[in-house]
Amino acid sequence: MAEHQAFYERISADRFSPTEHTRGPWDAGSQHAGPPAALLGRALEERRGARADMRLARVTYEIVRPVPIHPLEVTTTVLRAGRGVEIVEAALTPEGGAPVMFARGLRVRTLDEPGPAVAEGPRVPSPGETAETPFFAVPWEVGYHTSMDTRFTEGTFREQGPGTCWMRMRMPLVAGEEVRPLDRVLVAADSGNGISNVLDFERHVFVNADLTVHLHRHPAGEWVCVEARTSVDPAGIGLADARLHDEKGPIGRSAQSLFVAPR
């Protein structure tokens, strides 16, 4: 059984210790990119001096190298501070090492009075309409695969082709701290290439070196749906593109650039 019931434990204001729940499916010593993406996203929104009238509209992650399951420091830098928009960068650095992951966020000022709302696309079937869907086989007992509730309305992890999957965190991002709506989206968004895989896991590697998430609406509720499609060029470059939903409807999109190669 897992000893911890959160993805991270806070060591100090800017330092975090990852638990076994962050472990990805490919390397026992590395994290799935979802939890560190959420940790950096939280830093972009909640850094010291962050304006309360701004909201994250877009965040792009550069995954420089696998994120180890070792204590990490989060740092933030304001690159542009404007009246209507600001650009903030956050970095994730293991103790004694170089940064392994960067996030650059665009925060946009929200209106004082509600403006017009325009809906985008149809809703997908709700998570209550389908049963829990198991992950593909993973060689260790505890990790990201056991820390997320996953329910497919199209496809499965074991099928090749497009997939639509509702995902829910089984535990907080940081032990003893409230789960934010943005945490739920960013923990799930990096799973698009696995949800919509088009190649045999055992014969090919198709990993993402980046992730971009656009949000036109602030998410609500516990569930996030990733409606994903993957395209691969014979040269070995792919793209996993996904619509993101909550139970009220569409909230945005995510995209991952893929490195594809035979094992």
- Residue in the block written with tokens 């701290």: 177
Cβ-contact 142, 171 below 8 angstroms = no
If residue 80 lies in a helix (H) or strand (E), which one and from where to where? Answer: strand 72-81
Three-state secondary-structure class, residue 28:
coil
Tokens 């009246």 identify what position? 83
Alpha carbons 89 and 205: distance in angstroms, whole number: 29
Among the listed residues 175, 128, 176, 168, the one whose alpha carbon sits nearest the alpha carbon of residue 144: 168
Distance CA 189, CA 235 (A): 25
Residue 54 has pLDDT above 70, yes or no: yes
Q: Which stretches within 127-243 are classed as H helix?
A: 144-147, 181-189, 192-195
Task: Measure Cα distances from 11 to 16, 71, 193, 225, 254 in Å.
Answer: 5, 8, 32, 31, 31
> What is the pLDDT at residue 56?
96
For residue 54, the cross-strand partners are: 109
Dihedral sign from CA coordinates of 124, 56, 83, 79 = negative
| pLDDT higher at 122 or 9 | 9
pLDDT digit string, tens, across residues 104-121? 999 999 987 676 666 666
pLDDT tens digit sequence for 77-87: 999 999 999 99
Tell me the average pLDDT across 187-196. Answer: 96
| pLDDT at residue number 105 | 97
Residues 153, 213 contacting (CB under 8 angstroms): no
Tens digits of residue pLDDT in 210-245: 999 999 999 999 999 999 999 999 999 999 999 999
By residue count, the chain amounts to 263
Domain ranges of the chain: 8-110+132-262
User: What is the topology classification, in CATH, of domain 8-110+132-262?
Assistant: Porin (2.40.160)
The DSSP output letter for 203 is T
